[in-house]
């Protein structure tokens, strides 16, 4: 372990994290002085804090990549791109929440936004962690507020149940992950990612301690990204949570978990590639097929999107299986695109949701296109993008991942994955069919909320622009993956 | 001096007890206790390795793990109280409204 020297350069490197973390604490205090009816102000302040952090991250990304805090924290283009994805996820979540939490009829307090900011701080720590300790602390700092947010509707038994299941399985997976970390530490004598890679290269990969450590760490990470067969928590947590928080989990928590996983696998466990590649192939293929096939039978749209997110985790894992910089770049791109697609989908769900409890079931979308053309078109584009139909961004995301696989000669795996996208298309297009081909069963009473409209407009634009012109972002992602 | 393998064996046993506790027991409180057992087995590992490698990182890690374990239990018990107020049950098998 390096000697701990603390300098101003270390502090400037973590300014975005400091802004988000400190604002979260300040929001808790500001909240006390804001009247019950005007709690949106707290939400807008949270958005302002994230925008400041975003400016900070952009400024830091333009300087050279560097490791600070005694090798524990790294500031580079890779972390900056993931942080941008996370900022977008958090800002849009807050915009979606402004009206939604009122319509759920919960006691509406500013701590909701503070918790989102705390979780965001954790996600940022994951994407910048250069040491297993930092990444673990980030994972926990992200998970603890999300446990609370999932159970935020205290009076609802489903929300309680989702939170309880999530907290037990989340803590369980952290325990497994940590045991793996402890074994890897015992084997290599360090928790620093670069140090671990050097240690494994020096001592060889054929030790049961290392194999077991890598296995447990991989299982722990697969729990966090909700890959089959470690996905059990996802459908329940997604269905029971408030819809805005489901969006946050599907987008933020998943992107952050991938940020950590890619860095751990590519930077630290690269020499043990053969050990984890085999496990990931099983998880990825299982996730794609299990997620997509089970999604077909769902009647609740949030639960369907949970299974679809398991499938998407499978596709993103393919980028890791390729094991190249191109694979890592395609994961960055996929997560960026996935953020917009999913936030759009959850935005539409929130639009349909009024106090009547409508909007959660797939049947509620029957005949939506008759009187609400615009909303139906938005949902159509998003469903096409999730299914991976060109010219949407979802298609480009999958395209880059499959290209990375084919470059490595893994053609069978690529073909198998493409077959699973065909299965996935079935349940996404079913929603489109319901909206356009069926007669409505009653009047639709959509929520009128400008903040949700903005989110949907931006998501649709991003999905189309990234689908038609993915080059610019992909170029950045490739540069980021190479430096890492 | 006690050999390292003894520590690792102890931690492995605790880890397995913890894992089986979470998977087999149905009482939510017992499940939370088993989770603590898993985290403590990790701590034993870290401290033992740290001692034998003569490197402080492991002990540093253990201190953080203890803190996080405390936070996790605080959050989990908070959620459990909200749950028990609505459901009056400590049994994990009764949590069956969400399925499919």
Other C-beta atoms lying within 10 Å of the C-beta of residue A109: 18
pLDDT at A378: 93
Q: Is the backbone peptide bond immediately before A229 cis, with ω within 30 degrees of 0?
A: yes
pLDDT at A107: 66
Query: Reduced to 3 states, what is the DSSP secondary structure of residue A222?
Result: helix
Interchain contact, B98 vs A1, CB within 8 Å:
no
Residue A336's closest CA among A166, A93, A85, A107?
A85
The strand pairing partners of A129, in sequence order, are: A73
> What is the distance between the alpha carbons of residues B15 and A382, in angstroms, rounded to a whole number?
44
Instruction: Establish if A202 belongs to a structural domain.
Output: yes
Instruction: Establish if A2 belongs to a structural domain.
Output: no
Instruction: Establish if A15 belongs to a structural domain.
Output: yes
What is the CA A119 to chain-centroid distance, rounded? 12
Q: How far, in Å, are A91, A243, B3 from residue B10 at the CA level?
A: 46, 44, 12
* Domain annotation for chain B: domains and CATH numbers: 4-93 (1.10.287.3510)
CB-count exposure of residue A29 (10 Å: 0-12, 13-18, 19+): exposed
Per-residue tens of pLDDT for chain B, all 100 residues: 889 999 999 999 999 999 999 999 999 999 999 999 999 999 999 999 999 999 999 999 999 999 999 999 999 999 999 999 988 888 888 888 877 6
Residue A228's closest CA among A170, A162, A338, A313?
A313
Average pLDDT for residues A131-144, to the nearest whole number?
95
Residue A461: domain span: 8-483
Interchain contact, B45 vs A179, CB within 8 Å:
yes
pLDDT cut 90: percent of chain A above it:
65
In the structure, what pLDDT confidence band is assigned to residue A345 with cuts at 50, 70 and 90?
A: very high
Instruction: Establish if A1 belongs to a structural domain.
Output: no
> What is the distance between the alpha carbons of residues A313 and A298, in angstroms, rounded to a whole number?
19
Q: Which position has the higher pLDDT, A135 or A366?
A: A135
Query: Reduced to 3 states, what is the DSSP secondary structure of residue A68?
Result: strand
Instruction: Establish if A367 belongs to a structural domain.
Output: yes
CA atoms within 13 A on the CB side of A104: 25
How near does any CA of chain B get to the CA of A152, in Å? 9
How near does any CA of chain A get to the CA of B65, in Å? 9
Interchain contact, B78 vs A148, CB within 8 Å:
yes
Instruction: Establish if A254 belongs to a structural domain.
Output: yes
Contacts of A163 in chain B (CB under 8 A): 79, 82-83
pLDDT at A7: 81
A318 pLDDT higher than 70: yes
pLDDT at B94: 82
Instruction: Establish if A336 belongs to a structural domain.
Output: yes
> A41: which 2 tokens?
């102000």
Instruction: Establish if A3 belongs to a structural domain.
Output: no
Which DSSP symbol is given to A73?
Answer: E
CB-count exposure of residue A439 (10 Å: 0-12, 13-18, 19+): exposed
Number of domains, chain A: 1
pLDDT at A35: 84
Rg (chain A; Cα; Å): 21
> What is the distance between the alpha carbons of residues A118 and A114, in angstroms, rounded to a whole number?
6
pLDDT tens-digit readout, A202-260: 988 888 999 999 999 999 999 999 998 889 899 999 998 999 999 999 999 999 999 99
> What is the distance between the alpha carbons of residues B93 and A70, in angstroms, rounded to a whole number?
47
The strand pairing partners of A67, in sequence order, are: A74
């Amino acid at each position: 372990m390096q000697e701990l020297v603390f300098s101003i350069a270390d502090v400037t490197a973590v300014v975005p994290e400091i802004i988000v973390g400190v604002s979260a604490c300040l929001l808790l205090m500001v909240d006390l002085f804001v009247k019950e009816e005007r709690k949106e102000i707290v939400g807008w302040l949270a958005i302002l804090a994230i925008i400041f952090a975003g400016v900070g991250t952009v400024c830091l990304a333009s300087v050279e990549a560097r490791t600070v805090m005694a090798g524990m924290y790294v500031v580079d283009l890779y972390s900056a791109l993931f942080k941008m994805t996370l900022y977008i996820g958090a800002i849009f979540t807050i915009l979606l929440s402004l009206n939604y939490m009122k319509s759920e009829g919960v006691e509406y307090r500013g701590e909701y936004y503070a918790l989102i900011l705390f979780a965001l701080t954790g996600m940022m720590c994951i994407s910048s962690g250069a040491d297993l300790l930092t990444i673990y602390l980030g994972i926990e700092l992200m998970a603890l507020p999300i446990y609370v947010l999932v159970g935020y509707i205290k009076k609802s038994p489903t929300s309680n149940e989702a939170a309880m299941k999530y907290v037990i399985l989340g803590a369980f997976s952290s325990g497994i992950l940590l045991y793996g970390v402890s074994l890897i530490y015992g084997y290599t004598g360090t928790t620093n990612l670069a140090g671990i890679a050097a240690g494994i290269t020096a001592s060889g990969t054929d030790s049961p301690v290392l194999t077991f450590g890598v296995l447990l760490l991989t299982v722990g990470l697969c729990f966090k990204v909700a890959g089959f067969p470690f996905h059990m928590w996802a459908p329940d947590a997604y269905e029971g949570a408030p819809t805005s928080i489901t969006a946050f989990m599907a987008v933020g928590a998943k992107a952050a978990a991938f940020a950590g996983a890619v860095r751990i696998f590519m930077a630290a466990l690269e020499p043990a590639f053969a050990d984890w590649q085999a496990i990931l192939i099983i998880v990825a293929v299982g996730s794609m097929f299990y997620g997509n096939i089970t999604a077909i039978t769902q009647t609740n749209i949030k639960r369907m999107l949970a299974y679809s997110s398991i499938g998407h985790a499978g596709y993103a894992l393919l980028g890791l299986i390729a094991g190249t910089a191109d694979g890592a770049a395609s994961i960055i791109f996929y997560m960026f695109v996935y953020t917009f697609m999913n936030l759009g989908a959850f935005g539409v769900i929130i639009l349909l949701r009024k106090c009547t409890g409508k909007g959660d079931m797939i049947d509620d979308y029957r005949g939506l296109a008759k009187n609400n053309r615009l909303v139906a078109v938005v949902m159509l584009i998003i469903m096409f993008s999730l299914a991976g139909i060109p010219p949407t961004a979802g298609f480009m995301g999958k395209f880059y991942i499959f290209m990375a696989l084919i470059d490595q000669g893994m053609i069978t795996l690529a073909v198998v994955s493409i077959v699973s996208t065909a299965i996935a298309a079935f349940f996404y297009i079913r929603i489109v069919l319901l909206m356009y081909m069926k007669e409505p069963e009653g009047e639709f009473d959509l929520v009128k909320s400008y903040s949700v409209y903005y989110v949907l407009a931006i998501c649709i634009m991003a999905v189309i622009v990234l689908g038609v012109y993915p080059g610019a972002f992909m170029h950045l992602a490739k540069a980021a993956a190479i430096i890492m | 001096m006690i050999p390292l393998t003894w520590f690792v064996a102890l931690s492995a046993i605790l880890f397995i007890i913890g894992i089986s506790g979470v998977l087999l027991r149905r009482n939510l409180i017992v499940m939370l206790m088993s989770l603590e057992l898993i985290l403590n087995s990790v701590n034993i590992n870290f401290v033992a390795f740290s001692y034998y490698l003569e490197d402080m990182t492991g002990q540093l890690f253990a201190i953080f793990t203890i803190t996080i374990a405390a936070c996790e239990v605080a959050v989990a018990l908070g959620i459990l109280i909200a749950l028990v107020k609505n459901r009056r049950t400590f049994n994990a098998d009764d949590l069956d409204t969400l399925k499919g």
